[in-house]
């Protein structure tokens, strides 16, 4: 996955400011607004000035851009500023594809998440098809980083999809198996912290978030869908949350979003009893926006998304904010609670037995 150093220093920030002065090509108003907003956030923190009048167009646009960064931490704003300037420098690739990481900055397993940006769309793709795109600990971290970068990049919308026959088989169940008995509590605690940060990144994501579900989806990638703004599915996709079977419990805010989306009875069938839904069923229950025949899925969906990505980006973001902002506080509280409950579940005998069963499944066949 593309990345520069995780935390830009004051020096990097200063260098980026100087680099900006050397730009030969005007980056355009939208990018300039982003740079302005990130600079203000990095140096002064969240927007703290009165809103300019509607007729003061330029200052109003600058204020909106800064204000849209909400409570983004100063360090993250500094990093995003450095990343954005670096992407504009003449030495950057001319295409909007995200650059491969420099060799010494590459994280282990970072090819498992591929991030590209084109046609106003940032695409975050699960790329571990031989393991059905199961998500490892480092992939969670990469996704958090990718979402933070996408929140201030040039794209209008951000899309998740999977490479291969699966969208994703959810949490990599071996995340918990290479653990010595005396460090199991600490592992569960760390996993709970990581999960909370991961789900928070979806709750706080400021732009339209779309899932392009190319095949079966299991576990956390299903529960998260309640935090997406549109979900397009191939008719070969399925939606499965086998938490009870695994001795676990729902995450991704699904204990709150699913009953709201599909009603408590249908949510219970999925989240408590682990009923697997077809794409058509998931659409009928409101979890999926639209189902497409597999033969035309990719073409139809990406054509549509490219059209959507041409809509005014600020308007897209502001409309999303209006739809979602009332729920944010509640969602963060739900996320915290679900992570605490799961931390306990991971230490339970039921969960340990389920993981052992998964590991020994092949040898039993
Ligand atoms: C820290 C944050 C925690 C967040 C909490 C999240 C919770 C969840 O997401 S719960 C859901 C967890 N996922 C599962 O329970 C799925 C487990 N996998 C399966 O049931 C099956 O593999 C399958 C139905 C997804 C696919 O079955 P099949 O078509 O028969 O293919 P294989 O089983 O042979 O799979 C190929 C290959 O991939 C490995 N694999 C698949 N899924 C996972 C996974 N989730 N974790 C780890 N590994 C997985 C599978 O073991 C095979 O590997 P090889 O044997 O090495 O070929």
Domain range enclosing 35: 10-88
The last residue of a domain, from among 73, 88, 103: 88
CA distance 168 to 162: 6
Domain assignment of residue 106, yes or no: no
Adjacency order of strands within the sheet including 277-278: 217-218, 238-240, 277-278
pLDDT tens per residue, the chain (365 residues)? 443 345 788 888 888 888 887 777 777 777 888 899 999 999 999 999 988 766 565 677 788 889 989 888 899 899 988 988 888 876 443 333 333 333 333 333 469 999 999 999 999 999 999 999 999 999 999 999 999 999 999 999 999 999 999 999 999 998 877 677 778 899 999 999 999 999 999 999 999 999 999 999 999 999 999 999 999 999 999 999 999 999 999 999 999 999 999 999 999 999 999 999 999 999 999 999 999 999 999 999 999 999 999 999 999 999 999 999 999 999 999 999 999 999 999 999 999 889 888 877 755 44
Which residues have any ligand 1 atom within 6 Å of their CB? 131-132, 134, 169-175, 191, 194-195, 218-220, 242, 246, 251, 362
- Residues 117 and 260 reside in one and the same domain: yes
Q: DSSP string of 170-234?
A: -B-GGGGTS--GGGHHHHHHHHHHHHHHHHHHHHT--S-EEEEE-S-EETHHHHGGGG-SEEEEE
If DSSP states are collapsed to H, E and C, what string results for 61-87? Answer: HHHHHHHCCCCCCHHHHHHHHHHHHHH
Cα separation, 204 vs 152, whole angstroms? 12
Give the domain-ending residue among 54, 88, 122.
88
| pTM of the entire predicted model | 0.76
Say whether 264 sits in a helix, a strand or coil: helix
Do 43 and 127 sit in the same domain of this protein? no
What is the distance between the alpha carbons of residues 224 and 345, in angstroms, rounded to a whole number? Answer: 19
Q: What is the CATH number of the domain that holds 51?
A: 1.20.80.10
CA of 270 to the centre of ligand 1 (A): 18
In a domain, 172, yes or no: yes
Q: What is the CATH number for 140?
A: 3.90.226.10
Number of compact structural domains in the chain: 2
Q: Are 155 and 228 in a shared domain?
A: yes
User: How far does the centroid of ligand 1 lie from the alpha carbon of residue 219, in Å?
Assistant: 10
Q: Report if residue 264 sits inside a domain.
A: yes
Protein residue with least CA distance to atom 36, ligand 1: 131
Residues 218 and 338 in one domain: yes
- Evaluate whether residue 2 is within a structural domain: no
Residue 290, φ and ψ in degrees, nearest 5? -160, 145
ipTM over 0.85: yes
């Amino acid at each position: 996955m593309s990345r520069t150093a995780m935390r830009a220093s004051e020096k990097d920030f200063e260098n980026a400011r100087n680099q900006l002065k050397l730009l030969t090509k005007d980056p355009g108003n939208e990018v300039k607004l982003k740079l302005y907003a990130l600079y203000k956030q990095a140096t002064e923190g969240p927007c703290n000035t009165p809103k300019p009048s509607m007729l003061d167009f330029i200052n109003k646009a600058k204020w909106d851009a800064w204000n849209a960064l909400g409570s983004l931490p100063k360090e993250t704003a500094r990093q995003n500023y450095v990343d954005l300037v670096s992407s504009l420098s003449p030495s950057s690739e001319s295409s909007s594809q995200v650059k491969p990481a420099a060799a010494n900055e590459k994280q282990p397993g970072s090819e498992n998440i591929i991030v590209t940006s084109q046609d106003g769309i940032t695409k975050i793709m699960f790329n571990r098809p031989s393991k059905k795109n199961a998500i490892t600990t480092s992939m969670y971290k990469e996704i958090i980083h990718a979402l933070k970068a996408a929140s201030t990049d040039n794209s209008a919308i951000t899309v998740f999809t999977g490479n291969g026959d699966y969208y994703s088989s959810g949490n990599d169940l071996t995340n918990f198996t290479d653990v010595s008995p005396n460090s199991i509590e600490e592992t569960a605690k760390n996993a709970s912290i990581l999960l909370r940060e991961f789900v928070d990144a979806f709750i706080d994501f400021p732009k339209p978030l779309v899932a392009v579900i190319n095949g079966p989806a299991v576990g956390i990638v299903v529960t998260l869908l309640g935090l997406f703004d549109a979900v397009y599915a191939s008719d070969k996709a399925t939606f499965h949350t086998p938490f009870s079977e695994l001795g676990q419990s729902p995450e991704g805010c699904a204990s709150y979003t699913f009953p709201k989306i599909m009603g408590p009875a249908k949510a219970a069938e999925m989240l408590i009893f682990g009923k697997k839904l077809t794409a058509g069923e998931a659409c009928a229950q409101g979890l999926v926006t639209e189902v497409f025949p597999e033969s035309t899925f990719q073409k139809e969906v990406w054509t549509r998304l490219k059209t959507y990505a041409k809509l005014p980006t600020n308007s897209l973001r502001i409309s999303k904010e209006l739809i979602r902002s009332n729920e944010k506080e509640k969602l963060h509280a739900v996320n915290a609670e679900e992570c605490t409950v799961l931390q306990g579940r991971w230490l339970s005998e039921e969960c340990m037995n389920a993981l052992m069963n998964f590991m020994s499944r092949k040898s039993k066949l």
